Amino acid sequence: MKNLDENTSLAIIFSNVRRKKRDNDLITIAKSFNYLVNLYGSIKSVSIKIGLSKEMVRQFLSILKLPKEIQELFSKRKLDSVDIAKELLSLKNSRKQIIAAQAILDSSSKDVRDIKRLIKNSNTSVTEAKKTILDLKPKGLHIFMMDFEDDLYKSILNFSKSLRIKPAELVKRIIIDWLKRNS
């Protein structure tokens, strides 16, 4: 991350908070907000300076209250939503937050409503959370769940990243190609 100063922090915030597709991860943005709060003395001063509500500034800052393991997921953009951070923070226990974050990562859905249900039921296992999401899927949409050994899964992730497609899309393409060759 860049060394923060007032201009860098403001640039990061202005170029990222009002866009659906951000250039920076949420941790970088949250640290920029934190720098400005320390510089200007209050959340209110920052909200006035940048034209966002105090609540929105608080939501970005709250990401820095999550356990380091979860912050790392936000830093790597494996989790990339202020709403997800808000839902995770609704769990007061850091262990539950970590379990819920893992359930979110393991789920095929990134819909906030599904994630809220996962968070609410964070005492459930990852398998049960996946079942919950599958039960919520629209009719006519077919989902296959596959378990891979860690090495194979990492290979799929790396190969899909090199092709700039999602891992699920890569697996789908491989299956389609295999079916075409073998039918």
DSSP string, 19-77: -SS-SS-HHHHHHHHHHHHHHHSSHHHHHHHHT--HHHHHHHHHGGGS-HHHHHHHHTT
* pTM of the predicted structure, to 2 decimals: 0.61
- The tens digit of pLDDT for each residue in 73-118 reads 999 999 888 888 988 888 878 888 888 888 788 766 666 666 666 6
Instruction: Say which DSSP state 17 is in.
Output: T
Q: Which long-range contacts (CB under 8 A, 24 or more apart) does 118-127 make?
A: 119/87, 119/88, 119/90, 119/91, 122/91, 122/96, 123/96, 126/102
* Model confidence at 12: pLDDT above 60: yes
| Separation between Cα atoms, residue 98 and residue 34, nearest integer Å | 23
Rounded percentage of the chain residues whose pLDDT exceeds 70: 77
